[in-house]
Amino acid sequence: MAQKLNQVLAVERTVKGRAHGKITSLHHSSKHSNLFNGLAKTYEPKDEDDEAFPPESQLVQLTVPSVLKEVRRALVELFDVTATKDKANSAAVADVVLDGKTLLAAVPATTLIFLEKQLTDLNTFVGELPTLDPAQEWHKDEATALWKTAPQKTHKTKKVQRPIVLYHATEHHPAQTQLITEDVIVGHWSTVKHSGAMLEREKTALLDRIERLLKAVKYAREQANQQPAPDVLVGEAIFGYLYGD
């Protein structure tokens, strides 16, 4: 059953506030790149009798796909309720056309203005999403849907003192020695880096699609604004009633 305009207006502010709060929260979280990163470290002593160290880990708390899914969920509801209101309240419409194909048909001018602002904000949002460190070689882990690196081994050392002979003993003088400190390898760390970031090429492609859609929306807005706008004369009727003409 179709809604009436007053019903849409009654929920518009609530939907807009909820969407704004969600996007703001996600935007703030996405600025903390450490939430997208994780790691797993395991230690292997060089010798069985050497000191052992417990494994270390850091879980990935956010992933770009999950953030984008939440953004989509929040904005779809907001776009729909705003478009519904504008469609009922506007006669100036135009199609949003991409590559010769109509993506959105007969969109009201007010909705096009709204979409232009939202797509500009979305472009900024996506532009700040983290991408994978190009200095690392990443592979997709199908089990966790995260990116990860191959294990990287680093050695662990400890300082050990040993004597060295400065001067050997002679008939008249004893030998002279001195303690020196050396770094001795006692084991190896094996580190696997995890990430919930996105590939740079995926980010570039998404930003390119946003920009192309934004241009199409701007063009459609200009087209819609060329629609005739006949005068609607309400002032005389209102004051005629109020003044008792």
Average pLDDT, the chain: 87
Round the CA-based radius of gyration of the chain to a whole number and report it. Answer: 33
Q: How confident is the model at residue 35 (pLDDT cuts 50, 70, 90)?
A: very high
Neighbours of 219 (CB within 10 A): 15
Mean pLDDT of 46-65: 89
Tally of structural domains, the chain: 1
Tens-digit pLDDT profile for residues 218-232: 999 888 877 654 454
Tens-digit pLDDT profile for residues 57-85: 999 999 988 898 888 888 888 888 888 88
Backbone angles phi, psi at 70, to 5 degrees: -65, -40
Domain around 102: 5-243
Two tokens, residue 180? 């020196």
Smallest CA-to-CA distance from 37 within 147, 126, 134, 142 is with: 147
Mean pLDDT of 204-230: 86
Q: How confident is the model at residue 9 (pLDDT cuts 50, 70, 90)?
A: confident
71: enclosing H helix or E strand: helix 64-89
Better-scored residue on pLDDT, 245 or 188: 188
Question: pLDDT at position 243, please?
Answer: 62
